Amino acid sequence: MRFLKGKDYKDASRKAANIISAQIIMKPNCVLGLATGSSPIGAYNQLIDWYKKGDLDFSEVSTINLDEYKGLSGEHEQSYRYFMNTNLFNHVNIEKSKTFVPDGLAEDDDRECARYNEIIKSKGIDLQLLGLGHNGHIGFNEPDDAFEKETHIVKLSENTILANSRLFEEVSHVPRYAFTMGIKNIMQARKIVVIVSGVDKADIVKEVFFGPVTPKVPGSILQMHNDVTVIGDEAAFSKIGI
Ligand code: F6R
């Protein structure tokens, strides 16, 4: 595992964007696994900036997102499809038909999971971007007794519902279920880049990357992947001596 420390969030975001942009330049038709949430926004802004300056071309890139709330349409402002459109896709020359997010309104959960799994398997992810939940979740793989392998429906933990309620009018509006890629889907990505920032992530960063590998801390499985880069600001790295 490589740890890259930025002096602040902006610096860390630029480092992450650098790796993503290198991936796009080296393989213009690459498949990027993408995340939502606060952590990747700075990197997305940087990528948009480089695109506008003519340094990046997304025309052949495909993307596969980690997860989506069950019950929200892509037009809902808190859906992850909406997040991706407004924070990245609408500002670069990516073809929307090559951007994949689970369908939050799918009527048949099992069929949607199978469909999404097939997309992941048939395309293969070159670079997977991840954030880290305060409970160690990656995607919406919540702490559990076993690792879930493939795309599945998950009941969000109270901790996650509370953390994500900051973006909703009230806690009761946060969906209770989500579709998420599984751990095997994530681990099969060729490269993984994790972005963490803020002192509130310092404890979980230590647990995930230096603690025992256990489904109780889902991100700890990343210790078993052979190409992981963890990018953080000083605050998020403050408990690991890096
Ligand atoms: C988002 C996702 C989540 C977030 C995590 C961290 O698609 O899958 O695992 O990456 O909850 O969220 P932030 O970055 O908001 O702290």
Give Cβ neighbours of residue 164 (< 8 Å, ≥ 6 apart): 156, 174
Band of pLDDT at residue 141, cut at 50, 70 and 90: very high
Residue 179 CA to ligand 1 center (angstroms) comes to 14
Q: Which of 22, 33, 167, 173 is nearest to 100 (CA)?
A: 33
pLDDT of residue 30: 98
Q: Output the residue whose Cα is nearest ligand 1's atom 10.
A: 131
Q: Read off the tokens for 87.
A: 């924070």
Residue 39 CA, ligand 1 centroid: distance in Å: 7
For ligand 1, mutation pick of 39, 79, 199, 200 (most atoms within 8 Å of CB):
39
- Is pTM, for the whole model, over 0.95? yes
Residues 176-199: tens digit of each pLDDT: 999 999 999 999 999 999 999 999
Average pLDDT over the chain reads: 97
Distance between CA atoms of 203 and 176, rounded to whole angstroms? 26
Cα–Cα dist 140/80, whole Å: 12
**In this structure, which amino acid lies at residue 219?**
G
79, 69 in Cβ contact below 8 A?
yes
Contacts of 84 (CB under 8 A, 6+ apart): 34, 36, 63, 65, 99, 101
**pLDDT tens, residue by residue, 75-91:** 999 999 999 999 999 99
Q: Which of 65, 112, 126, 137 is catalytic?
A: 137
C-alpha distances (whole Å) from 208 to each of 22, 138, 193, 212 are: 26, 10, 14, 8
Find the mean pLDDT for residues 39-54.
98
141 is known as an active-site residue: no
Q: What is the band of 212 on the pLDDT scale with cuts at 50, 70, 90?
A: very high
Does the active-site annotation cover 55?
no
**Percent of the chain at pLDDT exceeding 70:** 100
